[in-house]
Amino acid sequence: MGMNVVDKIDDQVKINTVLISVSDKTGLETFIPGLVEINPDILILSTGGTYSKIKDILGERADRCLKQVSDYTGQPETQGGLVKTLDFKIYLGLLTETYNDAHQQDLKRTRARAIDMVVVNLYPFSQTIAQSGITCENARGNIDIGGPTMIRASAKNFIRVASVVDPSTYPALLEKLSAGNGALSLEDRFELAQKAFDHTAVYDRTIADYLGAQTVKDVQSCYQTGE
């Protein structure tokens, strides 16, 4: 199968659909109302604790502009939040391109929406392993899968999607969205992609270094093994 080659994009992309799933909920209390004020028709997709937090922030407005990812995809979250966002409909929405007819047909076929912004930060792996008495199982449980995948997909598709990984950037993003009538430029999206890939690179390096410092005996000490 040949590579998908893009030769036409939009400089300005209006943010109509946002996927938000964050461990660090700092700044949401101003960022979320700001997004809704700039674009009252925005749809926010979210999961778990983030969904609950956003629902509290929005109050009555949540009924109009907030939806659980599980309601959107039709697939309930698995026990313990093991699988929440890893869904065909989500990644179609993240990776599709505006001027690709086949992609647009896929969106219609699955009743999916193009997702224009992802707001994600990751399970606190480095903070977890910095604590005393942490076992390999504690560390393993804090290896985020869905988060890095969403970040990588949205950052790869910076030609259309904004990948937001740092809560400290929320105020500047709101300013740019307000000035741009709810849209972000290619320059904005590219700068966010640069940050996003640096974020996942540091995250994976931290995990690799931690696992590299363990022995199989360290791992065995965490578990009972079946016969």
Given this model, what pLDDT does residue 133 score? 83
91 pLDDT more than 80:
yes
Nearest to 22 by CA among 112, 124, 110, 129: 124
Q: What's the chain's average pLDDT?
A: 90
Range among 130-139, 184-193, 201-210 rated most confident: 184-193
Residue 45 dihedral angles phi and psi, to the nearest 5°: -100, 135
What 8-state DSSP symbol labels residue 85? S
Given this model, what pLDDT does residue 227 score? 56
100 pLDDT more than 90:
no
What is d(CA 161, CA 186) in angstroms, rounded to the nearest whole number? 9
What SS3 state is found at 118?
Answer: strand
- Tokens standing for residue 129: 């392993």
- Sheet with strand 162-164: strands edge to edge: 66-68, 43-46, 17-22, 117-121, 162-164
Given this model, what pLDDT does residue 110 score? 84
Whether 7 maps to a domain, the answer reads: no
Whether 49 maps to a domain, the answer reads: yes
Domain count, the chain: 1
Please give the angle made by the CA atoms of 143, 52 and 61, to the nearest 5 degrees. 140
Model confidence at 126, pLDDT cuts 50, 70, 90, reads: confident
Whether 177 maps to a domain, the answer reads: yes
The 10s digit of each residue's pLDDT in 53-86 is 999 999 999 999 999 998 998 876 655 555 556 7
Percent of the chain at pLDDT > 70 equals: 93
What CATH number did the domain enclosing 58 receive? Answer: 3.40.50.1380
The 10s digit of each residue's pLDDT in 11-50 is 999 999 999 999 899 999 999 999 999 999 999 999 889 9
Q: Please give the residue range of the domain that contains residue 168.
A: 13-220
What is d(CA 146, CA 94) in angstroms, rounded to the nearest whole number? 13
Contact 47, 22 (CB under 8 A): no
Please give the angle made by the CA atoms of 215, 220 and 223, to the nearest 5 degrees. 145
Given this model, what pLDDT does residue 220 score? 87
- Look at the alpha carbons of 23, 24, 27, 31 in this order and tell me if their dihedral is positive or negative: negative
17-22 and 117-121 beta bridge pairing: parallel
Q: Which residue did the predictor score with more confidence, 6 or 27?
A: 27
Q: Which residue did the predictor score with more confidence, 46 or 122?
A: 46
Q: Determine which helix (DSSP H) or strand (DSSP E) holds 182, and give its type and residue range.
A: none
Whether 80 maps to a domain, the answer reads: yes
Whether 62 maps to a domain, the answer reads: yes
Contact 114, 13 (CB under 8 A): no
Mean pLDDT for the stretch of residues 169-177: 98
Q: Which of 41-50, 124-133, 155-164, 204-213 is predicted with the least confidence, judged by mean pLDDT?
A: 124-133
Whether 3 maps to a domain, the answer reads: no
- Tokens standing for residue 197: 């890939």
Model confidence at 118, pLDDT cuts 50, 70, 90, reads: very high
**The pTM of the whole model exceeds 0.85:** yes
What is d(CA 117, CA 23) in angstroms, rounded to the nearest whole number? 17
Whether 44 maps to a domain, the answer reads: yes
